[in-house]
Amino acid sequence: MTRLAAVVMMIATGLFMAVTMASASDEGVLRGVYGMAATGACLHDKSPADTPGGGFTFSGTGTLGNPVTATPKSDDHFISTYMGKGIFYFDGKGNGEMWAWTFCILPPYTGSLKPKVTQALQPSTPLNMPTVPFTYVVDGARVVVTIPPPVKLTLSGWISSDHKTMTLESALPEQGQGVQYNGVIGYWQICTITRTLSRIVDE
């Protein structure tokens, strides 16, 4: 059982106990367990799966894949909302792992004539949930978390001086990368997500 799985088990069973905790910000080292709450939205476009460059066009120069310049190519597009919650564990040495639930609200669209809610990583017990490894770098108040393939995502943001809270943001696609095709619903998608993390266990 990984360190993160053990922490999740303690959360699930309400067994957190008061312990003497070392400061998670000693000498600028980021370590400890953080609870996460996330919100965001995705823009989806129904262009065919083999559409060159994905289902969006981008304005300006040097903006390939930059989501802030995206316009859907087809008339069949819609916006979904995103919410997530989870746990991040930072080991103080640049490595960590995360576990998360995600929820999306999809409005009516070609593939679904009625609104619906979808969710992922939601089995009966948190202990059955997979964890995702990551690496991270702290430079002053700046934090960058890199999640390798198959997730392949960069989270960047800011951390408080006492390392109790941080905000991590992500946008897909990352600038210079291709747009993702969501084969489950048959749409190209661009997503932006903001995560707020609060330290719940020191190391």
Range(s) of the domain holding residue 49: 3-14+29-201
108 in a structural domain: yes
Residue 119 belongs to some domain of the structure = yes
Q: Is residue 105, in this structure, part of any structural domain at all?
A: yes
Q: What's the pLDDT tens digit per position in 67-90?
A: 788 899 999 999 999 999 999 999
Q: Tokens 């699930």, residue?
A: 12
Q: Look up the CATH number of the domain holding residue 76.
A: 2.40.128
Does residue 22 lie within any of the structural domains?
A: no
Q: Tokens 């969710």 correspond to what residue?
A: 119
Q: How many domains does the chain have?
A: 1
pLDDT in tens, 123-182: 444 445 578 999 999 999 999 999 998 888 899 999 999 999 999 999 888 877 788 888
- Is the CB of residue 76 less than 8 Å from the CB of residue 109? yes
Phi first, then psi, for residue 84 (nearest 5°) are: -145, 160
Q: What is the mean pLDDT of the chain?
A: 82
* 114-126 exposure pattern, b = at least 16 Cβ within 10 A, e = fewer: eeeeeeebeeeeb
Region 13-21: what's the mean pLDDT?
Answer: 33
pTM: 0.78
Residue 24, in any domain of the structure: no
Q: Which two tokens stand for residue 185?
A: 């619903």
